[in-house]
Amino acid sequence: MVTGALASPVIGYGSTRNTLGGRQSIAVGESPDCPRCGNFTIGGNGQLWQLLYAHGIAGTAGYLGFFGYGLWRFRRDVTPVGLAASAAVLGTFVAMFWYNALVTPLAFTMLGYALLWRNGVRG
């Protein structure tokens, strides 16, 4: 997984990669009768891996840097909203090795960041 991500271009492939075959046997794969059989996605089993394959090293660094900077900048926000928002962003970092953060989880992460920013602007 890591070698494939590092072999991707600096800006990534733009999407995940498909592999032929299945996890149990090299004989399992697409055929004229079943073109979608046996194929599984490389880079789709966690947000970190998806970032590495789809957006490359540059995109992954930008994504992690953006949310990491937000956590660092607003680390002293001890209001209830600030703690909950920081937990949402931190939870994304913890789960990014196993789960994708597409659509709803990413929206909640961005909402957490926006709430941290709003509290920082006020205070």
| Tens-place pLDDT, residues 78-102 | 999 999 999 999 999 999 998 988 8
Predicted TM-score (pTM) of this structure = 0.76
Which structural domain, as residue segments, surrounds residue 37?
2-122
Distances (CA, A) of 5 to 85, 88, 121: 30, 27, 38
Residue 88: CA count within 13 A, CB half-sphere: 21
pLDDT at 22: 53
Rounded to the nearest 5°, which phi and psi values hold at 66?
A: -60, -50
Domain count, the chain: 1
pLDDT at 90: 94
The answer to whether 117 and 86 have CB atoms below 8 angstroms apart is no
Identify which has the larger pLDDT, 11 or 33.
11
The β-bridge relationship of strands 17-19 and 40-42 is antiparallel
pLDDT at 26: 53
Residue 13, pLDDT above cutoff 60: yes
